[in-house]
Structure 1
Amino acid sequence: MPESGLSASGLPASLAGLAFTKGHGTGNDFVLIADPGGERVLTAADVAAVCDRHRGIGADGFIRAVRSARLPEGQALLQSDPGAEWFMDYYNSDGSVSEMCGNGVRVFAHFLLTEGLVQLAEGETLTIGTRAGTKTVTRVESGYAVDMGPWEFIHPDHAAAKAMDAVVNADGLEVPRPGLSVSMGNPHTVVALAELAELAATNLTVAPSVQPEPENGTNVEFVVPADPLVVDGVGLVTMRVHERGVGETLSCGTGACAAAAATRFWAGRDAPNEWAVTVPGGVVGVRFLTAEDGREHVELSGPAVLVARGAFL
């Protein structure tokens, strides 16, 4: 007999019969559901069961599409941006709530479009609500480009003085490495490595230790700058990431933005504004631009793919 609250499949009985979609952005994969009225109550255990790669559907994250007016966080955003009709209710694979996911936003926009919940022609934009504020998504030929908003140092005084503000220990690295903490609406700590062999030898099945650790934990990116760093005006880096609440993923959109921001800072004032970040799941584009609010924003671009539809049993 199934446990209380579970269907015969072992997944949450509250989801039985509900349609889901599986999608990914450069290998960073998600289970998505449409819940416009915000009627579904999700627990951390529910999300973890669905995202389990052996007993569930399997994913790095779980995304619920809900109208912003149906969530307290969304209602607050609508007061300043009435165009944010849809809210990306995002969870890590362990069931913990996360502020944002750059790859997830692209897949979320593609899901809304495919489900007929929005209309979005190439070149048009869509405003999406997230726990890190509203994000503007533009449909482009290669997929979707997302204005991720402004980036900033988590410890600005320390970063400006020494270009590093943390010490990171990771399995497979012989000695601790300095890191730089960057916020993209969620926390990141970026570590530069010297060569690709060193990057490959780093074991990210074990969570790196970061000291001092940001209050709510941090995602950790290990980055190898290309040699030469800039080709045809585009900066080139290769990255692997350990996401808090998930583990190593094939891609991390906010992590790619943080990695480009840190590398650009280390490279100095002549560093380019456009970057190509290679992750295990592919390549994403990162661009720095001055927005209407006068602050430097980061734009993330890349593909979004939906691979399957089904229903929970």
Structure 2
Amino acid sequence: MSGNMSDGSLGPFAGLPFSKGHGTGNDFVLIADPDGEYAIDEAAVVRICDRHQGIGGDGLIRAVHSRNLPEGRALLEAAGQAEWFMDYRNSDGSAVEMCGNGVRVFVHFLIDQGLVDLPEGEVLLIGTRGGPKAVKREAEGYAVDMGPWDFIFPVEAANQGTDSLVEAGGLQVARPALSVSMGNPHTVVALAHGDELRAADLHHPPVVDPTPPDGTNVEFVLPADPLVTDGVGVISMRVHERGVGETQSCGTGACAAAVAIRFWAGDGAPDNWAVQVPGGVVSANFFTADDGREHILLGGPAVLVANGTLV
């Protein structure tokens, strides 16, 4: 297939091969630029990701050798083994720290393009603006060590259960929320009924007060009843991503949602969670890493659906 956008707005991307992929419906346009030859043009990213006049996607991912861009070189000095860097841009052209669904699709793209060899059970370290991420290939997808989570605002606020209020169309009153960092910012709202989850209007950005310093993604989460089945916590989620809008899935958002619901559930809450998003199901499992901090392992599928050339 071709991305026929020959009005000159693609800048350096014109003529490049691309792939289209998704992780539980969170979709991306992917290009390989190992030598870092093509400077990112924000307007071109917007054009490519446009769902009516472009290829369409929640973002664009460029595969670059870490040594060939400043962020990657800095990461190599610290981590040493992250040969490939995931240069991820939202559909509005803005650079993003990390994308949990995106990094799974990124590794699948590297394998498909013959850029890496990753047998099932093996782990590949990937560079991102949110730090290095270890990705393990599994029988039905990929599992990513998303690193440690943290509260965005002082823990004293979190110890009270919430740290902000969120207003959104379709919800009659502002809702209390908890802000969680997964390397990128998230604000999580718990809802009581499925009708509320369906009613939330995410065509416009929710209003968060106070807003984290770098803006925030907002997750609206419905705990299952019962919350825990066979030792696994079960939640459903919709998300509004900054710079994109509502997406079918958000990997870091699923992790943040599990953090918040687990925190609110209190002692005895499970470490393993299944997160239902509009595009499917991902897992978010808590574990103590070698650094002594609590990390989250995000698991889920990665699919490539098309290849073509940008023209």
Alignment match of 1:282 (pick from 270, 280, 283): 280
Question: Counterpart of 2:74?
Answer: 76
Q: Secondary structure at the match of 1:167?
A: strand
**What letter is aligned with 1:259?**
A
| Alignment of 1:118 onto 2:116 | yes
Alignment match of 2:152 (pick from 154, 171, 175): 154
State the 1:186 CA deviation: 0.1
Whether the aligned pair in 2 keeps the contact of 1:275 and 1:286 (CA below 8 Å) is yes
Q: How many residues matched?
A: 308
Q: Any idea what the Cα deviations from partners look like across 1:106-150, whole Å, max 9, x if unmatched? A: 000000011111110110000000000000000011200000000
Judge which range, 215-224 or 40-49, deviates more: 40-49
Alignment match of 2:257 (pick from 252, 256, 259): 259
User: Alpha carbon RMSD of aligned pairs, Å?
Assistant: 1.1
| Alignment of 1:199 onto 2:200 | no
Q: TM-score, normalised by structure 2?
A: 0.97
Question: Counterpart of 2:207?
Answer: 209
Whether the aligned pair in 2 keeps the contact of 1:251 and 1:281 (CA below 8 Å) is yes
Whether the aligned pair in 1 keeps the contact of 2:21 and 2:303 (CA below 8 Å) is yes
Q: What are the ranges of 5 or more consecutive residues in structure 1 without an aligned counterpart? A: 1-5
Q: Equivalents in 1 of 2:205, 2:56: separation in Å?
A: 20
State the 1:7 CA deviation: 6.0
Q: Equivalents in 1 of 2:279, 2:146: separation in Å?
A: 20
Question: Counterpart of 1:90?
Answer: 88
**What letter is aligned with 1:47?**
V
Whether the aligned pair in 2 keeps the contact of 1:11 and 1:50 (CA below 8 Å) is no
Whether the aligned pair in 1 keeps the contact of 2:11 and 2:44 (CA below 8 Å) is no
Q: Secondary structure at the match of 1:235?
A: strand
**What letter is aligned with 1:167?**
L
Question: Counterpart of 1:179?
Answer: 177
Q: TM-score, normalised by structure 1?
A: 0.97
Q: Equivalents in 2 of 1:18, 1:272: separation in Å?
A: 46
Q: Secondary structure at the match of 1:172?
A: coil
- Quick one: percent identity of the two aligned structures? 66
**What letter is aligned with 1:173?**
L
Alignment match of 1:236 (pick from 225, 234, 237): 234
Displaced runs of 4 or more, over 6 A: none
Q: What are the ranges of 5 or more consecutive residues in structure 2 without an aligned counterpart? A: none
Does the C-alpha gap of structure 1 residues 277 and 63 become closer, same or farther in structure 2, counting only changes over 3 Å?
same
Q: Any idea what the Cα deviations from partners look like across 1:244-270, whole Å, max 9, x if unmatched? A: 000000000000000000000000120
Q: Equivalents in 1 of 2:246, 2:152: separation in Å?
A: 22
State the 1:42 CA deviation: 1.3
Q: Secondary structure at the match of 2:38?
A: coil
Alignment match of 1:222 (pick from 216, 220, 242): 220
Q: Equivalents in 2 of 1:142, 1:262: separation in Å?
A: 27
Question: Counterpart of 1:48?
Answer: 46
Question: Counterpart of 1:292?
Answer: 290
Whether the aligned pair in 1 keeps the contact of 2:24 and 2:280 (CA below 8 Å) is yes
Alignment match of 1:168 (pick from 155, 166, 180): 166
Q: Any idea what the Cα deviations from partners look like across 1:289-311, whole Å, max 9, x if unmatched? A: 00000000011000000000000
Q: How does 1:132-147 map to 2 (within 5 A)?
A: 132-147=130-145
Question: Counterpart of 1:107?
Answer: 105
